Amino acid sequence: MAIIYEIYGTDAHSMTFSLMQAAQVSKMIPPCASIALKPNLVLSGTPDTGATTHSGVLSGCIEYLQKEGFTRISVIESSWIGGNTERTMKACGYDKVCAKYGVPFYDLKKDQTRTVQTALRPMEITCRALDADFLIDLPVLKGHCQTAMTCALKNLKGCLPDREKRRFHSDGLIEPIAALGAVLRPALVIVDSICGDLNFEEGGNPIQTNRMLLGTDPVQIDAYGCRLMGLRFEDVPYIQLAETWGAGSTRIQADDVIIMNEPTDGAEYPAASGLVKRLTRGVQAESACSACYAALVRALYLAQQEGLRVPDRIVIGQKWRGKHISELGIGNCCSGGADYVKGCPPTPDAILARFRECT
């Protein structure tokens, strides 16, 4: 069985370096291998919001690899649909890290792709992700308004062109995430769980748990993250489906987890709040992209904070495109109705402004 290393603290750089030393990562990597680091830069939010991978995870990883003699290192990522990857990487301080260590950053929105057969269907994947000799996945363990949790497996979605990301949402996310994990399995996963937002993937409500994880099995890592967040496998169905399709194993025994130090200021993960489910009880989502749906959830959350009245029924998603809609629609896919919030995706502020008109 694969081993999970767990470390507590607040210094992402030193924690990452220590995890890689303990796991003897250099022995896993073939000589002269091309190494690609894939963080989570979903949007232009700083890591302290609980949305994006700390720059210290990136610097700690690069410093360890370079000290072990590896030179063919790159950082690869694409922000979510509607996002600007370059703006996001600068907001997170990645431009400074890459400049300091002389490591290139590649925006996968601009990369070429190849079609790969998966257990679900043919899938377009970016070439830099496919061609890396050693892919290191650097996700944030956090909540997600559509899949309950996002960590190692779902972070691989950033290795897709935007057109494939949209198709993922048309296919319901669960099966595509599992299928992608089985064909683009990272060689190493280092999880930033210092302050992930346990409700929203775009951050804003971080929970300071002050820990990081390292493992070689993305399914096992996600299963452990699921346990930490108090979720059941039924809440995150892509994990067991990925196991069925050969992406890894959900099995975790007591001696599979090595705790490297004693927790000090790290908080326990609170039980799942059910906040997103309550906020979206009147939402009819049909193949909604994450950026659009997250904007709606954020607007609903802010409306609740302001005590605003929101419509009893709201529609959102690609399957409303071209259809007549009588309810409030969110995003350009819902332009067939008389009342919709423009944007692809619309901003939370634009949706919130519409809610204020309803009050």
Query: pLDDT tens for residues 229-252?
Result: 888 999 999 999 999 999 999 999
| Structure-block tokens of residue 99 | 């400049």
Q: Residue 50 — φ and ψ, nearest 5°?
A: 90, 15
End-of-domain residue from the set 259, 293, 325: 259
Which pLDDT value is given to residue 91?
92
Which pLDDT value is given to residue 212?
97
Long-range contacts of 301-304 (CB under 8 A, 24+ apart): 301/200, 301/275, 302/348, 302/352, 303/352, 303/355, 304/279
According to DSSP, the β-strands at 134-138 and 122-126 are unpaired
Number of DSSP helices (H) and strands (E) in the chain, helices first: 13, 16
Instruction: Tell me the residue range of the domain where 14 lies.
Output: 4-259
Query: pLDDT tens for residues 304-338?
Result: 989 998 888 999 999 888 888 888 999 999 988 77
Which pLDDT value is given to residue 271?
64
Cα separation, 201 vs 143, whole angstroms: 6
Task: Give the full edge-to-edge strand order of the sheet including 314-316.
Answer: 283-285, 314-316, 328-330, 340-341
Residue 12 pLDDT > 90, yes or no? yes
Whole-prediction pTM value?
0.87
Does residue 230 share a domain with residue 167? yes
End-of-domain residue from the set 227, 259, 291: 259
Query: pLDDT tens for residues 116-173?
Result: 999 999 999 999 999 999 999 999 999 888 888 999 999 999 999 999 999 998 899 9
Asked whether the beta carbons of 56 and 250 are under 8 A apart, the reply is no
| Structure-block tokens of residue 71 | 């030179």
Average pLDDT rounded to a whole number, residues 256-284 = 79
Query: pLDDT tens for residues 56-108?
Result: 999 999 999 999 999 999 999 999 888 899 999 999 999 999 999 999 999 99
Q: Is residue 311 part of a domain?
A: yes
Does residue 221 share a domain with residue 128? yes
Q: Give percent above pLDDT 90 in the chain.
A: 64
Cα separation, 231 vs 173, whole angstroms: 18
Which pLDDT value is given to residue 270?
67
End-of-domain residue from the set 198, 229, 259: 259
Asked whether the beta carbons of 161 and 124 are under 8 A apart, the reply is yes
Q: Is residue 269 part of a domain?
A: no
What CATH number is given to the structural domain containing 91?
A: 3.40.50.11440
Residues recorded for the chain: 359
